[in-house]
Amino acid sequence: MSIDTDVRRNAEAFAALAEGRHRDPFALLGIHRAGKLRVVRTFQPQAKRVDLIDVEGNHLADMRKVHSHGLFVAAMPPRKRRYRLRVTSHDGQIADIEDAYQYPQSLGDIDLYLLGEGSDQQIYNKLGAQVISLLGARGTRFAVWAPNASRVSVVGDFNDWDGRRHIMRLHPANGIWEIFLPGVCGGARYKFEMLDKHGKLLPLKTDPYGNYHEPPPGNASIVYESDYRWKDTDWIGRRSVVPDLDKPVSIYEVHLGSWRRKADEGNRYLTYRELADELVDYVSDMGFTHIELLPISEHPFDGSWGYQPIGMFAPTQRFGSPDDFRYLIDRCHNAGIAIIIDWVPAHFPKDEHGLRQFDGTALYEHEDPRKGEHADWGTLIFNFGRREVVNYLIGSALYWIDEFHIDGIRVDAVASMLYLDYSREADEWVPNEHGGNENLEAVAFLRKLNAEVHAHGATSFAEESTAWPGVSRPVDMGGLGFTYKWNMGWMNDTLSYMCEETIHRKHHHDKMTFGLVYAFNENFVLPLSHDEVVHGKRSLLGRMPGDEWQRFANLRAYYANMYAHPGKKLMFMGGEIAQGQEWSHDRSLDWHLLEYKNHSGVQSLVRDLNHVYVRTPALHEIDFSSEGFEWIDWDDRNNSVLSWIRRDRSGGHVICISNFTPVTRHDYRIGVPERNPLKEIINTDAEKYGGSGIGNGVITPSEQEHYGKPFSACLTLPPLATLILLPE
């Protein structure tokens, strides 16, 4: 067969390729048999001339232009297996390039099987943009799941964003498209161009598995090659698939964009590497054991705080590169600080370059808006019943753990996932197969997620605001499998109590005690999170009643009460300096407040609370069992006083007392379990914290029984203060 005959026979296919309608360019381009000839076909619409050359650069043939849009053909000389193309563009520039269509598929049959089955735990190494070597050439494999597209192309700087030039190979069994582009390596910008099943051109899509993105409005994905060398081997080696619930957990919740800014440099963000010094040193000094980052995944809108992610596999570019983020994590681990990230599988935004109608169909979301949309947030809900979507989400969680050494994930908005009727009217939701409102597919997803997270040595936290049973109980016991659950009830009740004028608190005393009724039903974290200092709620200090002295005293007493209460601890940044105004993502915390004694006093208290908490087993070892807690007097509502005992596993204990009125109470007697002298290890009224300095020194109990205890002690209770006493 001659080249002329080959051209005539494939004329229709050539036209389809030139017009961007061809679904299988690998059947047409590259090396193919044409009768007794082997021919090389290439589509180079930018080219004035194309020469066929060998890998050493020797000329093999002039390629003939057989279509006005840029299709070139030449006979391949005998015994030649590899070739290159010398392309002369219309403006006269000459470049020697590799032809992507001479390379075989780069995903193996096992890879394709696992991806189709939805069981590939390292999906992030298969889909997306992977820099690899194939047949001796270095380049990038692009792969994307788009089963309902009629054509998928990768477009970028490397092909003038022309979707006709690099149409991908379809694997019809699982809807994955892939192509290897030799010579395309780190730094290349790209997106996916698709035609839907009817041949309609869709908006350009960011790579769902992209691990680096450019900022808006471009929003392109960027090929990224990591060369980071970790220095936290010892830390990772100490991870366990069984969480140690006896350890102290004191979490500092941080929004990286507003923790601290460079005011003298245009109010810019700190970079990941600057935060690795400033933030890590600060948190280490303050004694927090964990940092929790508001969502770090790439997101298009600053005002979403990251809770509407567009890149579930990409650290946001706002603060640097993925390796810069790795450096921040490494520094945390070497300082003994664990890292938790907020991770958002509950919903995603409708931005056209994201997952919405990804291949022209409801691929990641539900088609039915009664199951697929959150009207409150203007977002879409993942289809947890689709194995490829579950694999995508679990792959994302494991990516952060395995590739960035994250120690834990906090799953946001769990309640919205569990209930089909969440924030919906009666006619706005679809019952499950049993007629109930439980989202059974989401339940199965969360159980699988938590099993995998724990198997990889990390922990999981649920922000779940309802009474769903067993959120932090193991899957094999019927639970959802989270390590911890945020105690939203404790937070709501206690903050409501603290907002009351002190004279009225005796009428609301149960708000401070009710939490102990259910305190051991779950593995609770006590959260004073970012949600409590936005949207008109005021700062925590701003919610405290009384004059200035009383507001600070109330806040100090409340913080110490939290640290003495069963449950792990979480404080949003700014709480530790008694931030006066609500948090804003657009500005830095008010660090200048530390020039004032009241604010620096609160900071000193939080620092001391953390260090006392960590070194006092009774305050953290038995958080999730009634064995670690005993009331001394829970019902002194007339005086608004609470007193209790916290115990550790070796028989030690501390005694905790909170006085939530501005009245100093002299000779206040409490029952105690033994006669050993007691010393104050925390007194929130101490002068160094901004208090009045009323205290007790060493307290010697007497043999007088009181409230069922064999001994008792007479104390002076400072006004609006919490005491923690340790037997000597």
Any idea which residues carry the catalytic annotation? 412, 463
Q: Strand (E) positions, 344-399?
A: 373-374, 379-380
Q: How far is CA 105 from CA 55, 102, 112, 164, 591, in A?
A: 21, 10, 11, 19, 56
Dihedral class, residue 47 (left if φ above 0, else alpha if ψ from -120 to 50, else beta):
beta
Q: Which two tokens stand for residue 504?
A: 């009225």
β-strand 698-699 against 678-683: which pairing, if any? antiparallel
63-78 burial: b if 16+ Cβ within 10 Å, else e: bebbbeebbbbbbbee
Alpha carbons 43 and 14: distance in angstroms, whole number: 9
Pairing outcome for strands 84-89 and 47-53: antiparallel
User: Quick check: 603 and 277 in contact, CB under 8 A?
Assistant: no
Report the amino acid identity of residue 9: R
Please answer whether residues 187 and 222 qualify as being in contact, where contact means their C-beta atoms are separated by less than 8 angstroms. Answer: yes
DSSP 3-state of 629: strand
**What gap in Å lies between CA 428 and CA 441, rounded to an integer?**
18
Distance between CA atoms of residues 318 and 261, nearest Å: 13
Cα dihedral 179, 184, 187, 193 in deg (nearest 10): -40
State how far Cα 705 lies from the chain centre. Answer: 53
For 141, list phi and psi in degrees, rounded to 5: -90, 125
Would you list the DSSP string of 78-133? TT----EEEEEETTS-EEEE--GGGS---S-HHHHHHHHHT--TTGGGTSEEEEEE
The amino acid present at 250, given as its one-letter code, is S
CA distance 206 to 202: 12
CB 184 within 8 A of CB 140: yes
Going from the C-alpha of 272 to that of each of 221, 258, 316, 322, the distances in angstroms are: 20, 13, 10, 9
Q: Report the distance separating Cα 377 and Cα 273, nearest Å.
A: 33
Pairwise CA distance, residues 684 & 402, whole Å: 42
Contacts of 219 (CB under 8 A, 6+ apart): 206, 213, 300, 310, 351, 353
- How close are the terminal C-alpha atoms of the chain, in Å? 99
**Measured between alpha carbons, how far is 481 from 522 in angstroms, rounded to an integer?**
11
Q: Give the tokens for residue 499.
A: 């907002």
